[in-house]
Every structure is written in structure tokens, then in C-alpha cells.
Amino acid sequence: MSRFQVVSGKGGTGKTTVAAALALALATEGRRTLLVEVEGRQGIAQLFETESLPYEERKIAVAPGGGEVYALAIDAERALLDYLQMFYKLGSAGRALKKLGAIDFATTIAPGVRDVLLTGKACEAVRRKDKQNRYVYDYVIMDAPPTGRITRFLNVNDEVAGLARIGPIHTQAQAVMRVLKSPETAVHLVTLLEEMPVQETADGIAELRAAELPVGRVIVNMVRPHLLDEDALRTAAGGRRKEIARALTRAGVTGSAGLVRPLVEQAAEHAQRVELEREQREVLAGLELPGHELPLIGEGMDPAGLYDLATELRKQGVGDGVGEGVGQGVDT
Amino acid sequence: MTQGTDADTATDRATALAPALDTDALLDDPGIRIVVCCGSGGVGKTTTAAALGVRAAERGRKVVVLTIDPARRLAQSMGIDSLDNIPRRVSGIDGESAGELHAMMLDMKRTFDEIVEAHADGERARAILENPFYQSLSAGFAGTQEYMAMEKLGQLRARNAWDLIIVDTPPSRSALDFLDAPKRLGSFLDGRFIKLLMAPAKMGGRAGMKFLNVGMSMMTGTLGKLLGGQFLRDVQTFVAAMDTMFGGFRTRADATYKLLQAPGTAFLVVATPERDALREAAYFVERLAAEEMPLAGLVLNRVHGSDAARLSAELALAAAENLDGVGIVDQTAGKAGLRDPADWSVVSPEAVADPDPSEHEDTEDREPDPEPAPEVATRTETVTEDASVEQLTAGLLRLHAERMQVVAREQRTRDRFTALHPEVAVTQVAALPGDVHDLAGLRAIGHRLATGSTPAGAA
């Protein structure tokens, strides 16, 4: 699998959850992963039920087999100050700039500059090595902006090209772009088995491809269990109510007569949903991308649920050794 | 908090505490001129806005729905799939005293361009429109969409051509963005740094500003190095060109803000009965109160219910297990398991004693066969039918148990919200199995919104 995993998806599909589960799943066998967020929402902290993340890489979870998950909330202003410090040793002058609103200004007026600072920080973590020349993080997973904005967000070069034509920001944009367009990166899209998110996923993939950004996998989230097979459902809709009433009575349910209609109606709704889900699965299959399916965690997401999802991802082959995986063929 | 078996008590409590939101009264009130639908992403804001629009129009009002990013098929169903930034009349609005429904989809860049064109003369307008910073800002600034939505709302209101404007809010990273962004863009364009960039010379003569001026040249030097000299020259050109418009931006941002606080405006917070969505909704309710903006209530979308709510999840699962065991029980006990002999008499003991019902699944298809079958065949069919009825019924019961678990979970989530904000009126929209993308679907949602169609078993 690519070392830089970017996770996007329509709002409400659970992309933060999937990114976190992926970070856990990839942190097996002593590996270390970094989970980054870029939208200042503190979604990671909420998910892991810890206090707000600072602008600092901090260990937030351990995975089975001694793996570690670090997390970082990237802040564009702080990232810009970092750069100023790195390139110009600004020190207190940097703080003065901030006070004047210059940093806010520079990161606000040019969204491309803001984005290049955010992606640049993540790319730096992807490439960072320790003294033994080993990568500090085996994988960096980004909880990225939603599908509608992901291509613009990642396509920083185009965004910045017209603004900063020379200088370190320009150079930085080009360096970031090289990482983002390489097989080192994979952009995954999270969806639900519903029409709108699936449509948006298809549109998002087309945009990413047009921008020559590497599309990774489609991850279907919150998949609900199928409790009845469809043939049985058709039968249920087909007028066996008296028999069902009798069976209910035999099973010890009192007043079964009044229950048959709602039970059969619920089954019919279920059948309709199953049918809609089947249609959406077909649309997704038409995208010809590798994918995963994650179950709905009924009781709402908490750290235990995250571990369950990570286990599920591992079962589906995520984290089986570095540099290989179902998605490899299309990552480039 | 309430758990499992306490669900009934919780239901009673929530019903007692949360007042009902009467959306029809809201839509019928001629004093209400603007309804803003807000909430986190993916909760059905756009659909709610569109459904309210259809309902209000069919109840006689002249309505315009401003949508930000509608799903394609929803937009098509209203005839606004072209992004032309102009309200279009929606056909198919029914009713004896029907008014009109218009709908439009926001084009944020064009809205921004229009403001520039309206407030700057030809030469200056062109300089702004061609500036790379303007292009970047108008297409991509995180708050531009929010700002332009509010700008458009102000424009529509000023035209006074509709008696009700229903506005959907942008799919922000946080529901609060749409309140913050206009102010942020306003204060940004009005900011200290921009003033410094524009007029360092003005301050040169004032002793107190000397330091700033030194800081200024150091800073422009630094930023120039970092971003390239052209960057700052472009910024300065842009800022100079926008200069005349700053007052306008600021004034209109303030005017729109006041419009949102006015009594003719009503906010509807939209959520689903899920933890994250309701947490956002709670933040939003608090924020609206802090900003003195009028909240009409909470629309809770995709609520599950059951008409068989008196059968609890636990009992349903237990009954399903009984049915799983029925084959075995009956093999040994014959009719011992029967509790309804009147109806049961058609089945012979041999039939009940079928050892493996699943083997007969194929014969299932022949069931409707109207031909009188020979004695043996009839008996076989009865066996099959009965065995699969056990399976089918067990399946129905398990499905019901799952539904009841969902109902209970949603109720707990909702209870937490109600406990925090007991004053917020609520209407619930029962979950539909599929997506809505036609007027009939919107009409159905509108009906559910109006009746609060409290799904049975869910408060």
C-alpha cells in the first residue's frame, strides 16, 4: 500500500472514522502510523475520546503487536510560521507578523497557499527519516477535506502557480505535487450505499483522474447486515399473513394478529432498501476500483468500535506487508 | 442515561419535555419571510429545504428556494440543474390555492463577480476580475460559499419578489462556518494588515506608527522572499482595486447579519438522530441563541419507528429462537407446540415433523400452483410451506428486533439532546427506504414534516 493514504468522502459518510480505522489497521507488527487532520475540527480527538490535539505529533493509540498511532492536527498558520522559522530563523519577528495579521492574511487570501502548507506538512511527515535512514512513519493517513473539495485541495500546484511564481512556496508546491502524484500516495473515497454519496464518489474519482492524482480504493462504510434473504422477502410480501400469524403464536408471541401487518411492512421496506443498495453496489462495481466494506457500528462510534473496524480492514487485507495490496495496481 | 428496558420511560419523558414543531404554522405565517435550514453535512438539509418549499407553495405562498449544492436528481426534479444563478419557476405545484415555487442553485463565483461588476466601474472591475488573487479568493476561499450564500439571500430579499425565501446552507466542515464566514471575510477584507498593505505611506508621518512601518517593510520583504515578489505586487494591486468595495462588503455583511436576527427570519436546525449530527445541532442551537438569531426548532430526519413497537427487541429475538427450535420440538412432541388449534388443524403431524425444511426450498416456487395435486404432493407442499414459514417468521422477528434496537438507540440519542435543550421544538421525519428525487417525494416529506409523523414507538 502507498505510504501516504488520503481519505476523503462526502460529509456524513464517516471519513474521519475510516481514516482512524485505517491508521490503526496499518499500525500492525510494530509499525508506526501518523493520522493527520487538516480542517481544524478536532474530529480525531473526539473519536479517540482524548483532549484536543495540539499542533504536535502525539501518540494516541497502540495497535496489537506493538504498533503505534500518532496524531497531528495541522494548522496552516502554525505551518507557515514553521516555514518562516525554517527558512529565515524569524523567531520573535514571526510572532510579530502573526500579531499584525500577516499570517492570517497570507493563509486566507490565497487558499492555495493554505492548502500547500497543510499538504506540505503531511508530505514532510511522509518523507521524514530518522538517523538510521528509516522512515519515521510507515504510513501517514490524512483525514482530508470532503469529496467536493478534495481535488482542488490536493492539486496545490495549479492553485499556487498563478500566485507564487517563484520563491520557497512555489518550490514547496512543486515538491508536494511530486509526492502527491507519485505511487507513494493513494486517495481513498468513503461512501455509503446510498445514491447521493455514490454519485459524488463517481464524480470525485473522475475529477481526481482528470487532475492525474492517484485514486486508491472505494470504502463503503456503515454497511447494514442483511437479515433476510430476498426470496424470503418476496414471499413475505406475497400474502402468507395467516401462516405468519400462526407461526408467531406458536413462537409464544401474544396478540400476533395485529403484529403481522407491521412486521411484513418492515420486511418490505427492508427489501426495498436491499434493492437500492444492490443498485448502488453495481454503480460502485462499475468504477472498477478495489474496495472495502465496513459494517455499521450500531451503538455509535467509540474507540472500541474503531478497533473493530481496524480488525475488519485487516481481515480484508489492509496492512499485509508493506508495498503490496489489492490496490497497488491502480494506485499509480 | 436511559438504557434498554428504560426506553419506554425515556419515551414518555421526551414527549413531555420537547414541544412539537408546527412547520405548517411557520410556513403559513405571512410574517415569516426567510427560513434558514442549517445543520451538519449529510443530514438532509437540501431535501428539507426543497420539501418545505413545495409545501409552502402548495399552501399558497410565493416561495423561492435557494439551494447550495443539491444532488443532481433532486435539482433535475425541480428543473434547476443548470447552474445559472437565477431563480427558475418549478412546474408541477398543485393545489387549489397554490402559490408559486421558484428554485435556484448558487454559483458562488458568479455571485462574487456580479458584486464586483455592480460596485466597480468597468476598468476597475476588469482589474479585479483578472487578478489572480481575486480568482483564487472567489473560487476557493473556504468561506466564500458561505459568504455568497448570505449575499444571495440579501439580494433575493431586497428584490421583494417572493413572500418566502427558504435557504439551504453550504456543506461546511462545521455547521457553524456559515455564521462565521461572512464576518471572517468581512473582517479580513477590512483588516489591519490589508490597510497596512494599502497605505503604508499614510502612516509614515505619525510617530506612533513608525514601528509599524518598519515592521511593515520587514514583513513585506519576508513575505516577498517567501512567496516571490510578484505575489506581493499582485496582492497590492488586488487590494488597491478592491479598496472602493470594502465599505460595501462590510455594510452588506452587517445588513445580512441583521436580516438573520430579524423577527421575519426563522432558523430550522436539521439533524439525524445520530450522535455526531445531534451534537452539531446542539452547538448550533447554542450558537443561534448567543447570536440572538430566531430558532424555530429542530427537524429530525430519518427517524425510525415501528408499528409493532409493543413487541420488544428481546421478546422478538426470544420468539425467533423458539421458531428455530420448533422443528425439533415438534418432531418429538407432535402437536405439543400448538397454541392455536383452530387455525392449525390443516397441518398433519407428519408435516410438522419434517426433519430438514431447507431441502424443500425449491418446491416453494410451485406453491401458487392452482392445480389440485395428488395427496402425497399436497402433503409435501404443506410441509415445505410450513417449515419455511417458521424460517420466514423468525427472519421477520429478527428484522424487527434490529429495528427496535435502532429505535431505542435513536431515542437515547434524542433524549440527550432534549435534556440539554428541552425548549427546542422538534418535528420528526420518518426514514424513507430510498432517496427522494421528485416532487411527489418532496410532497411526502413535506407532509411528514407537518404532521411530525412521529413514528410509532419513537416518542
pLDDT (tens digit, 9 = 90+) per residue, B391-447?
Answer: 888 989 999 999 999 999 999 999 999 999 999 999 999 988 777 878 999 999 999
| Residue B88 belongs to some domain of the structure | yes
| pLDDT in 10s for each residue of chain A, 332 residues | 899 999 999 888 999 999 999 999 999 888 999 999 998 778 899 899 888 888 899 999 998 888 999 999 998 888 877 777 766 666 666 666 666 666 666 666 666 677 888 898 999 999 999 999 999 999 999 999 988 889 988 987 676 766 677 777 777 788 889 999 999 999 999 999 998 899 999 999 999 999 999 999 999 999 987 766 666 666 655 678 888 899 999 999 988 888 999 998 888 888 888 888 999 999 999 999 999 999 988 777 788 999 999 999 999 989 775 444 333 333 33
Domain co-membership, B215 together with B154: yes
The pLDDT, as a whole number, for residue B1 is 40
Res. B2: pLDDT tops 60: no
| Residue B457 belongs to some domain of the structure | no
| Cβ-based contacts of A262 with chain B (< 8 Å) | 306-308
Name the pLDDT band for B94 (thresholds 50, 70, 90): confident
Between the ranges A42-56, B1-15, B192-206, where is the mean pLDDT highest? A42-56
Name the pLDDT band for B124 (thresholds 50, 70, 90): confident
d(CA B182, CA B142): 11
Name the pLDDT band for B183 (thresholds 50, 70, 90): low
Which of A13, A16, A117, A243 would you mutate first to test chain B, the one with the most B CBs within 10 A?
A243
Q: Which residue has the higher pLDDT, A286 or B380?
A: A286
Residues pairing with A67 in the sheet = A63
Q: What is the pLDDT of residues B202-242, one digit of tens each?
A: 444 444 444 455 555 666 666 666 666 666 677 777 776 66
Contacts 24+ apart (CB under 8 A), B215-221: B215/A96, B215/A100, B218/A93, B219/A96, B219/A97, B219/A100, B219/A102
A242 touches chain B (CB under 8 A): yes
Q: What is the pLDDT of residues B16-75, one digit of tens each?
A: 468 999 999 999 999 999 999 998 878 888 899 999 999 999 999 999 999 887 777 778
Closest CB to A11 among B42, B226, B434: B42
Closest CB to B231 among A164, A261, A272: A164
CB count, 10 Å around CB of A325? 19
Domain co-membership, B112 together with B24: yes
| Residue B262 belongs to some domain of the structure | yes
**Residue B238 belongs to domain with CATH number:** 3.40.50.300
Strand ranges inside B97-245, DSSP E: 100-105, 164-168
Res. B82: pLDDT tops 70: no
Mean pLDDT of chain B: 75
Give the domain extent around B350. 313-409
| Residue B64 belongs to some domain of the structure | yes
Domain co-membership, B128 together with B160: yes
Cα→Cα distances B285→B19, B150, B176, B282, Å: 15, 19, 10, 5
Q: In this structure, are residues B41 and A190 in contact, taking their beta carbons and an 8 Å threshold?
A: no
The pLDDT, as a whole number, for residue A323 is 41
Q: Is the dihedral of CA A120, A123, A127, A128 positive or negative?
A: positive
Domain co-membership, B402 together with B291: no
Q: How many CB pairs under 8 A join A and B?
A: 244
Q: Find the mean pLDDT for residues B194-199.
A: 62
Res. B161: pLDDT tops 70: yes
Pairwise CB contact (< 8 Å): B219 & A102: yes
Pairwise CB contact (< 8 Å): A87 & B226: yes
Domain co-membership, B433 together with B362: no
Backbone angles phi, psi at A278, to 5 degrees: -65, -40
Closest CB to A228 among B142, B235, B395: B395
| Residue B456 belongs to some domain of the structure | no
Domain co-membership, B324 together with B214: no
Kindly list the strands in the beta sheet with B265-271, ordered across the sheet, starting from the edge strand earlier in the chain.
Answer: B88-89, B100-105, B62-67, B164-168, B34-38, B265-271, B295-303, B426-430
Domain co-membership, B427 together with B381: no
Domain co-membership, B374 together with B437: no
Between helix B108-119 and helix B144-159 the angle, nearest 10°, is 60
| Cβ-based contacts of A40 with chain B (< 8 Å) | 173
d(CA B119, CA B105): 23
Domain co-membership, B118 together with B226: yes
Domain ranges of chain A: 4-224+296-319, 226-279
**Amino acid present at B329:** V
> What three-state secondary structure class fits A192?
coil
Instruction: Name the domain count of chain B.
Output: 2
Enter the DSSP assignment of A129: B
Domain co-membership, B40 together with B165: yes
Distance of CA A173 to the CA centre of its chain: 23
Res. B378: pLDDT tops 60: no
DSSP for A140-178 reads EEEEPPPHHHHHHHH-HHHHHHTT--SSHHHHHHHHHHH
| The architecture CATH gives domain A4-224+296-319 | 3-Layer(aba) Sandwich (3.40)
Q: Find the mean pLDDT for residues B147-161.
A: 88
Domain co-membership, B142 together with B71: yes
Q: Cα(first)–Cα(last) distance of chain A, in Å?
A: 11
Pairwise CB contact (< 8 Å): B409 & A300: yes
Closest CB to A299 among B191, B307, B409: B409
**What secondary structure, in 3-state letters, does B114-156 show?**
HHHHHHCCHHHHHHHHHCHHHHHHHHHCCCHHHHHHHHHHHHH
Pairwise CB contact (< 8 Å): B231 & A273: no
Pairwise CB contact (< 8 Å): A170 & B228: yes
Q: In this structure, are residues A309 and A319 in contact, taking their beta carbons and an 8 Å threshold?
A: no
Q: Tell me the residue length of chain B.
A: 459
Domain co-membership, B85 together with B124: yes
Q: Find the mean pLDDT for residues B261-276.
A: 92
